[in-house]
Amino acid sequence: MSEIINLPPDHISKPDARALESFGGHTIAHGRATRWRWGRDADGNDVFELYRGGTQEMLAAWVERDHKADAWWARDAAGAPLASGTLDHVLAELDARLARSHGDDLPPVS
């Protein structure tokens, strides 16, 4: 007999979690964040959070999965949307935004 497992509505799979954690390491390595952590939103869904700053650390951005819309969302500290779509797209957009806010020189967007 098969066991039925009830996952949270916006559960993040292990491969996606590894991709997010890798992105967090990449962001920290480039000095655009000081740490990342797994958190929960008000509905109890998993969110991936990026922080920056030293003693005055603050939330820089967070990423969530919306299964109903079949999309990923990156949001700023206030919860305003920064990007949505596939995980790869959201991470690329978030990486570019964090790089620009950090003052990194990036090639122009075509």
pLDDT tens profile 11-55: 789 999 999 999 999 999 999 999 999 999 888 889 999 999 888
Distance CA(47)–CA(75), nearest Å, equals: 10
State both tokens at 24: 């967090």
pLDDT value of residue 2: 65
pLDDT on residue 10: 59
Q: Is the pLDDT of residue 59 over 80?
A: yes
Among 12, 19, 54, 62, CA closest to 37: 62
Which tokens belong to 62? Answer: 């967070």
As a whole-number percent, the residues of the chain with pLDDT over 90 amount to 64
SS (H, E, C) 51-86: EECCCCCEEEEEEEEECCCCEEEEEECCCCEEEEEC
Q: What is the C-alpha separation between 79 and 83, in angstroms, rounded?
A: 11
What is the model's pLDDT at position 107? Answer: 57
**91 in Cβ contact with 23 (< 8 Å):** yes
Q: What is the pTM of this model?
A: 0.83
Backbone dihedral angles phi then psi of residue 66, each to the nearest 5 degrees: -115, 100
